[in-house]
Amino acid sequence: MKYFRFIGRMIGKAISDGQYMDCYFSKPLYKMMLGEELAFEDFEDMDNNYFQGLKYYLSSQFEAEEEELYFCVEEDFFGRTEVIELMPGGQHIMVTKETLEDFLEKITFHEMFGKVKEQCKFFLKGFLEMIPRELISIFNYRELELLIAGLPDFDIDDLKANVEFRGGFTAQSPCIQWFWEIIADFDKFEIASLLSFVTGCSKIPLGGFASLQGMNGLQNFNIHRLITNDKQRLPEGHTCFNQLDMPEYEDKEVMRERLLFAIKETGGILMA
């Protein structure tokens, strides 16, 4: 626990001294550092496969009573299985359709915080010894990442050499040509927002885009064509797959406006 407290102090000290560190955390930990509440959707950033499995529970095909779920989870401790209750008496309380959302909130909170509660508490204790909560809380979690790791150095040629096109887009598609022209005019904050929106991280690996990681190992930055009749639709980012979904815009300026709005207002870094 002293080690985690020390790491928290080091991160806080680096921020207070204006020094950048080549380290990145999950969205839930950034939110805990800021004192924000965790949400079910935050778990996607930690374990996408598990998250998608839990998300299925919200579908109309899922019948909670038939699955015989209970407000508890089983954890393995060095070969010994232990039942962890998500609420008092949880191993005897069955999940129903009415209590399903409460169950999902509790189980994801357990995965994001409960399993590592003591480690997080000591990390946050060390961090807040260096940076008072009232000073850090003016930022959002993506801005906090920039405070810790700094702004990215960006090489468009490197991205062009390590990008994939899907859904009908090709390197010759007008939208792709516009994309390169648009991001060539981005400043560093906008580049950081774009990277964070698509990859979940505002920095580029030391090995460049060829070393970009996804949920299952190396995963190229990829741009996927959305099949839609709405040519004003906002782009979508899928950080687990480093994927940017875009409709086939018919106008470059519309595309620029929609892309900037998406990365700044719906998941990117809000500009001061």
Q: Taking Cα atoms as reference points, which of 82, 55, 57, 81 lies closest to residue 69?
A: 57
Q: Cα separation of 107 and 73, whole Å? A: 8
Q: Cα separation of 65 and 83, whole Å? A: 20
- DSSP-derived secondary structure for 190-223: HHHHHHHHHHS-SS--TTGGGG-EETTEE--EEE
Instruction: Please say whether the beta carbons of 211 and 218 come within 8 A.
Output: yes
- DSSP-derived secondary structure for 169-188: --TTSHHHHHHHHHHHT--H
Q: For the packed helices 141-149 and 188-199, what is the interaxial angle rounded to 10 degrees?
A: 120
Cα-trace Rg, the chain: 21
Instruction: Please say whether the beta carbons of 151 and 143 come within 8 A.
Output: no
Strands 243-246 and 236-238: antiparallel
Annotated catalytic residue, options 72, 120, 201, 240? 240
Output the CA–CA distances (angstroms, integers) from residue 192 to 38, 50, 141, 268, in the order listed.
Answer: 23, 28, 13, 8
Query: Could you confirm whether 240 is annotated as catalytic?
Result: yes
Residues identified as active-site? 240
